[in-house]
Amino acid sequence: MRCSLGILCLLWCARSLLFAAPAQEQKLMVTGSSTVAPILLELAKMYEKQHAGVRIDVQSGGSSRGVADAKQGLADFGMISRDLKPEDSPLEGFPIARDGIAIIVHKSNPLKAIQGATVKQIFQGKIRSWKELQGADKPIVVINKAEGRSTLELFLAYFGLKNSEIKASAVIGDNEQGIKMVMGNPQAIAYVSIGTAESQAAIGAPIKLLSLDGVPASIAEVTGGRYPLSRTLNLVAPKPVTKSLARNFLDFVRSQEAEPVIKELHFVPIVVPR
């Protein structure tokens, strides 16, 4: 009888081990800026490979979403492509990179450089044809960013515009949409992340980044502090960041290990010494 009970016990233990619940997956949610999202997507993949059982979900939707989700606890980190504002309190900002905003046109457009005053007139509808800028006798197709996008906020502030003044032919959300619209329309003009535009042009996208006020639109000029239309890219979270996984991932994103990935995506990394 004792032997039978012993065998049953062993069988039960073996069954329990065989059907034991897997270790609980550790998860992080990151939402917000479409400019910052490509950086976080690549770094999340790296981090997941190094840490079994960790999943990091990265979703775009604009800086406004990143702030709102971080405040409401819907995301561990928000991604924003601007500096923090007083109304973002009680969030804390963690700079991860720098970027600029490029004015882009189709590669076939003869224009190579543009002045800020001209950009303003184009987006106000005061300059309507490329002929006025030594181009084709064709109407300019103005592409604007949607409300809630930090790229829009910085563009408006730099050129002294109100969104209501812009005579847009189309309104887009993320950088990729803007690039695709310019790729598909030789008469279009848009403004997008320099990092995203440079990386797409490098792989053959038929777009051109225009020099702005005499300064080439490039990450090299952003790095040197010469390009005028630039910004800091941040992760934001309620302070302090106490969740160990969130803290470890944040340290990784701002480490020397992440630096080559950020550079490869055509952004300027901000490394924080440990």
pLDDT tens, position by position, 74-118: 999 999 999 899 999 899 999 999 999 999 999 999 999 999 999
Average pLDDT of the residues in 5-26: 51
pLDDT band at 273 (very low <50, low <70, confident <90, very high): confident
Q: Indicate if 207 and 251 belong to the same structural domain.
A: no
Q: Indicate if 161 and 177 belong to the same structural domain.
A: yes
Structure tokens at 153: 């906020």
**How far apart are alpha carbons 104 and 37 in whole angstroms?**
20
Answer whether residue 117 is part of any domain. Answer: yes
Residue 179 has a pLDDT of: 96
CA angle 39–99–135, rounded 5-degree value: 115
Helices (H) and strands (E) in the chain, counts: 10, 11
Report percent pLDDT > 90 for the chain.
Answer: 81
Counting every residue written for the chain, the total comes to: 274
246: helix, strand or coil: helix
**How far apart are alpha carbons 46 and 258 in whole angstroms?**
9
Of the candidates 50, 44, 33, 64, the residue with the CA atom closest to the CA atom of residue 233:
33
Of the candidates 21, 197, 195, 169, the residue with the CA atom closest to the CA atom of residue 106:
197
Q: Indicate if 167 and 116 belong to the same structural domain.
A: yes
Q: Indicate if 131 and 215 belong to the same structural domain.
A: yes
Residue 51 has pLDDT above 80, yes or no: yes
Average pLDDT of the residues in 53-64: 95
Q: Indicate if 42 and 148 belong to the same structural domain.
A: no
pLDDT band at 3 (very low <50, low <70, confident <90, very high): very low
3-state helix, strand, coil in the chain (%, to 5): 40, 25, 35
Residue 120 has a pLDDT of: 97
Q: Indicate if 104 and 218 belong to the same structural domain.
A: yes
Whole-model pTM: value is 0.78
Q: Indicate if 213 and 118 belong to the same structural domain.
A: yes
**How far apart are alpha carbons 163 and 147 in whole angstroms?**
9
Amino acid at 9: C
Task: For residue 183, give the CATH number of its domain.
Answer: 3.40.190.10
Residue 17 has pLDDT above 80, yes or no: no
pLDDT band at 15 (very low <50, low <70, confident <90, very high): low
Residue 108 has a pLDDT of: 97
Residue 240 has a pLDDT of: 84
Q: Residue 189 belongs to what domain range?
A: 100-223
Answer whether residue 262 is part of any domain. Answer: yes
Answer whether residue 30 is part of any domain. Answer: yes
Cα distance from N-terminal residue to C-terminal residue, the chain: 63
**How far apart are alpha carbons 254 and 234 in whole angstroms?**
11
Average pLDDT of the residues in 39-57: 96
31: helix, strand or coil: strand
Count of domains for the chain: 2
DSSP class of residue 20 equals P
Answer whether residue 264 is part of any domain. Answer: yes
Do residues 125 and 105 make contact, with C-beta atoms less than 8 angstroms apart? no
Residue 20 has pLDDT above 50, yes or no: no
Residue 239 has a pLDDT of: 84
